[in-house]
Structure 1
Amino acid sequence: MTFESELAERKDELSKKWANLILQTYPKETQKIWSREKDRFQNPVGAAIVEATRELLDLTIQWEDAEKIACELDRIIRIRSVQDFSPSQAVSFVFLLKKLIRDEFFKAMDSAGRLPELLRFEAKIDNMAMMSFDIYSKGREKIYRLRVDEVKRAQSQLLRRAGMVADVTVEDSSTD
Structure 2
Amino acid sequence: MTFENKLAERRTELSEKWADLVLQTYPKETQKVWARQKDRFQNPVGAAIHEATGDLFGQLIEWRDADVIAASLDRLIRIRAVQDFSPSQAISFVFLLKKLLRDEFFKDMKKDGTLEDLLRFEAKVDNLAMMSFDIYTKSREEVFRFRVEEVKRSQHNLLRKARMIVDVTADNSAD
* Structure 2 partner of 1:60: 60
Q: Which residue of 2 aligns with 1:97?
A: 97
More off after superposition, 154-163 vs 128-137: 154-163
Unpaired segments of 5 or more residues in structure 1?
170-176
Question: Which residue identity lines up with residue 116 of structure 2 in the other structure?
Answer: P
Instruction: Note the alpha carbon deviations across 1:24-61, whole angstroms, 9 max, x for none.
Output: 11111211111221111111111111111111100000
CA separation of 1:122/1:154 partners in 2, compared to 1, >3 Å: closer, same or farther? same
Secondary structure, aligned partner of 1:17: helix
* 1:3-14 equivalent positions in 2, closer than 5 A: 3-14=3-14
Q: Which moved more, 1:72-81 or 1:95-104?
A: 72-81
Counterpart-to-counterpart distance in 1, 2:168 and 2:24: 55
Contact 2:94-2:129 at 8 Å conserved across structures: yes
Q: Which residue of 2 aligns with 1:51?
A: 51
The code of the aligned residue for 2:120 comes to R
Note closer, same or farther for the CA distance 1:158–1:133 as it changes in structure 2 (3 Å cut).
same
Look up the match of 1:172: none
Q: Look up the match of 1:134.
A: 134
2:144 and 2:23 map into 1 onto residues whose CA distance is: 27
Say yes or no: does 1:20 pair with 2:20. yes
What's the CA shift string for 1:79-131, capped at 9, x where partnerless?
11111111110110010000000110111111111121111110100111111
Counterparts of 1:1-176 in structure 2 under 5 Å? 1-158=1-158
SS where residue 40 of structure 1 aligns?
coil
- Give me the whole-angstrom Cα distance separating, in 2, the residues matched to 1:35 and 1:166: 52
Q: Distance in 1 between matches of 2:148 and 2:53?
A: 33
Offset, 1:143:
1.2
Letter in structure 2 aligned against 1:121: F
Aligned 8 A contact 2:82 2:143 in 1: no
1:12 Cα shift? Answer: 0.7
CA RMSD of aligned residues (A): 1.8
For 2:173, the equivalent position in structure 1 comes to none
Normalization by structure 2: what TM-score?
0.88
> Displacement of 1:156 after TM fit?
4.2
Q: Percent identity?
A: 70
**Structure 2 unaligned residues grouped into runs of 5+:** 170-175
Size of the aligned set, in residue pairs, is 169
The AA in structure 2 aligned to 1:110 is K
Aligned mates of 2:145, 2:82 — CA distance in 1? 15
Following superposition, which runs of at least 4 residues in structure 1 exceed 4 angstroms of deviation? Answer: 156-169
| AA of the residue aligned to 1:11 | R
The CA deviation at 1:158 is 4.9
Q: CA separation in 1, counterparts of 2:101 and 2:118?
A: 8
